[in-house]
Amino acid sequence: MQSEAESTAVSLPPAVRLAPELTRRRPHALRRAAIALCLWLVLAANAAIIVALWLRGGGVTQVHSSGELMTSIGRITGLLGAYSVLIQVLLLARLPWLERLVGFDRLSVWHRWNGHACLDLVIAHTLFITLGYAALDRLSVGGEIGALLTGYPGMITATIGTALLVLVVASSVVIARKRLRYELWYLVHLSAYAGIALAWTHQIPTGNELVLDNLAANYWRGLYLATLALLIVFRVLPPFANALRYRLRVADVLDEAPGVVSLRIAGRGLARLRARPGQFFLWRFLDRRRWWASHPFSLSAAPTDDCLRITVKDLGDFSHGLGTIRPGTRVVAEGPFGVFTDAVRRRPKVALVAGGIGITPIRGLVEDMGGDLVVLYRVVRDEDIVFRSELDRLSRQRGVTVRYVVGDHAAPGGERLMSPEHLLELVPDLAEREVYVCGPAGMTDFLRRNVRAAGVPRKYVHTERFAL
| Cβ atoms within 10 Å, residue 431 | 15
Sign of the CA dihedral running 309, 313, 314, 317: negative
Answer with the residue of higher pLDDT: 339 or 20: 339
Q: State residue 180's pLDDT score.
A: 56
d(C-alpha 272, C-alpha 335), whole Å: 12
Instruction: Please say if the pLDDT value at position 152 is more than 80.
Output: no
Q: Taking residues 128-133, what's their average pLDDT?
A: 91
Q: Taking residues 159-185, what's their average pLDDT?
A: 65
Q: Taking residues 105-115, what's their average pLDDT?
A: 78
Instruction: Please say if the pLDDT value at position 156 is more than 80.
Output: no
Instruction: Please say if the pLDDT value at position 435 is more than 90.
Output: yes
pLDDT level of residue 10 (50, 70, 90 thresholds) = very low
Range of 161-165, 289-293, 347-351, 394-398 with top mean pLDDT: 347-351
Q: What is the pLDDT of residues 221-236, one digit of tens each?
A: 899 899 889 888 888 8
Rg (C-alpha) for the chain, rounded Å, is 26
Q: State residue 411's pLDDT score.
A: 79
Question: What are the chain's domains?
Answer: 2-21+343-465 (3.40.50.80), 58-242 (no CATH), 247-337 (2.40.30.10)
Q: What is the pLDDT of residues 376-434, one digit of tens each?
A: 999 988 888 999 999 999 999 888 999 999 988 877 777 889 999 999 999 999 999 99
Residues in the chain: 468
Q: State residue 19's pLDDT score.
A: 42
pLDDT level of residue 105 (50, 70, 90 thresholds) = low
Closest CA to 275 of 326, 226, 341: 341
Q: Which backbone phi and psi does 353 adopt, to 5 degrees?
A: -115, 120
Q: What is the pLDDT of residues 248-267, one digit of tens each?
A: 999 999 988 888 999 999 99
d(C-alpha 162, C-alpha 412), whole Å: 52
Q: State residue 320's pLDDT score.
A: 65
Q: State residue 293's pLDDT score.
A: 74
pLDDT level of residue 203 (50, 70, 90 thresholds) = low
Q: Taking residues 59-73, what's their average pLDDT?
A: 91
Q: State residue 428's pLDDT score.
A: 95
Q: Taking residues 184-210, what's their average pLDDT?
A: 66
Share of the chain above pLDDT 90, in %: 35
Give the list of residues 6+ apart from residue 191 with CB closer than 8 angstroms, or none: 164, 167, 168
d(C-alpha 170, C-alpha 363), whole Å: 36
pLDDT level of residue 3 (50, 70, 90 thresholds) = very low
Q: State residue 14's pLDDT score.
A: 35
HEC profile of the chain: CEEEEEECCCCCCCHHHHHHHHHHHHHHHHHHHHHHHHHHHHHHHHHHHHHHHHHHCCCCCCCCCHHHHHHHHHHHHHHHHHHHHHHHHHHCCCCHHHHHHHCHHHHHHHHHHHHHHHHHHHHHHHHHHHHHHHHHHCCCHHHHHHHHHHHCCCHHHHHHHHHHHHHHHHHHCHHHHHHCCHHHHHHHHHHHHHHHHHHHHHHHHHCHHHHHCHHHHHHHHHHHHHHHHHHHHHHHHHHHHHHHHHCCEEEEEEEEECCEEEEEEECCCHHHHCCCCCCEEEEEECCCCCCCCCEEEEECCCCCCCEEEEEEECCCCCCCCHHHCCCCCEEEEEEEECCCCHHHCCCCEEEEEEEHHHHHHHHHHHHHCCCEEEEEEEECCHHHCCCHHHHHHHHHHHCCEEEEEEECCCCCCHHHCCCHHHHHHHCCCHHHCEEEEEECHHHHHHHHHHHHHCCCCHHHEEEEECCC
Q: What is the pLDDT of residues 436-456, one digit of tens each?
A: 999 888 888 899 999 999 999
d(C-alpha 70, C-alpha 297), whole Å: 48
Half-sphere exposure in the Cβ direction for 181 (13 Å, CA): 7
33-69 burial code (b ≥16 CB/10 A, e <16): eeeeeeeeeeeeeeeeebeebbeebbbeeeeeeebeb
Q: Taking residues 364-372, what's their average pLDDT?
A: 90
Q: State residue 202's pLDDT score.
A: 67
| Cβ atoms within 10 Å, residue 133 | 20
Q: Taking residues 160-174, what's their average pLDDT?
A: 70
Structural contact between residues 334 and 285, judged by C-beta atoms closer than 8 angstroms? no
